[in-house]
Amino acid sequence: MSVHYTCADALSQHLSADARKGDERTLKILEEIADEEPEQAECRARAIYELGEVQLAAQDSEKAIELFNKATELGDTLAPIRLGKFCRDGKMGFIQDGAKALDYFTKGAACGTPEGLKLAAEMYRYGQGGLKADGLKAIEFYEWLDELDDKEALLNIAEIYAEGCGDLKADGGKALDVYAEIIRHGKFWAEVHRDFNVKTERLEIYERALKLAAEIYRDGKGGGEVNLRG
C-alpha cells in the first residue's frame, strides 16, 4: 500500500497543468491506482480525486462531480472541500446551498483537514453561500480550530467580538479577554525570538493582538478591564 500511496500522493502534489488536461501516461497511472482493491482505499481516493481534477480541466463538470463524490466516500480530504465550494458559490452545476456546503466542509474536517472548518467559519462570519451571518456559530468553528492548534483561531474570535457579527453585537470586553489570552501565550515566544531577531507566525500574531487590544482601549470600545501584563 505504501508504494501505491506514495505514487498517488506525489501525483496529488505535483500533477502538472498539461497532465490535468489529459496526459496519457499520467492518466494511465491514476486509472491503475483508482482500480485497486478496496483495501487500497486511501490511494484510490486520492487517484479518483485527481481524475476528477482532470475532468474539471476538460470542462466535464458532471463527471468531475461524480468522481469527487466517490473520492469523498473513500475518505479523500480534498474532494469534500471542492464540492463544498461548488455548493457555497453555486458553481459547476450546483444550486447555491449553504447547508450542503457546510456539510461538505465538515466532512472534510472529519477526514483530517482543518481547511473545511475555516471555510465553514467564514461562511457564518461573512454570510456566504446564502447563509445569514452568525457570529456565535462562526466562533464555534474557530474554537474547534483552536483545539486543533490553529494559530489564528483565537485572533479571529477576538476580531468577531470586537467588530460584531450578525446578531452578535460588538463587545470590546470579550474581545480584550481573548486578546489577553493570546498575549499571555505569546509572551514567552516573543521574548525568545526577539533575542534572535526572528520573525515567526506566533510572534506576528502576538504583535497583532497587542496592537488590536491597544486600539480597543484607545477608541473606548466596550468594557471588560483585563490585565494585559499577566
pLDDT digits (tens, 9 = 90+) for 38-91: 667 778 888 889 889 888 888 899 999 999 999 998 888 899 999 999 999 999
Write down the pTM of the prediction.
Answer: 0.78
Any domain includes 2: no
The pLDDT of residue 30 is 75
Phi, psi of 210 (to 5 degrees): -60, -45
Burial 160-178 (b: 16+ CB within 10 A, else e): bbbeebbebebbbebbbbb
Q: Quick check: is 211 in a domain?
A: yes
Task: Quick: pLDDT tens for 19-38.
Answer: 555 566 667 777 777 777 56
Asked whether 145 and 118 are in contact (CB, 8 A), the reply is: yes
- HEC assignment per residue over 110-133: HCCCCHHHHHHHHHHHHCCCCCCC
Task: For residue 144, tell me if it sits in a domain.
Answer: no
SS3 content of the chain, % helix, strand, coil (to 5): 70, 0, 30
Burial class (CB in 10 A: 0-12, 13-18, 19+), 73: middle
Domain that holds residue 165: 154-230
- pLDDT at residue 1 greater than cutoff 50: no
Instruction: Supply the pLDDT for residue 21.
Output: 54
Phi first, then psi: give them for residue 29, nearest 5 degrees: -65, -45
In a domain, 100, yes or no: no
> How many domains does the chain divide into?
1
Judge whether 165 lies within some domain: yes
**210 within some domain:** yes
Does residue 229 lie within any of the structural domains? yes
Query: Is 164:124 a contact under the CB 8 Å cutoff?
Result: no
Q: What is the dihedral of CA 70, 54, 116, 86, to 10 degrees?
A: -90
Look at residue 213 and tell me if it is in a domain: yes
Across all residues in the chain, what is the average pLDDT? 81
Phi, psi of 168 (to 5 degrees): -80, 115
pLDDT of residue 188: 65
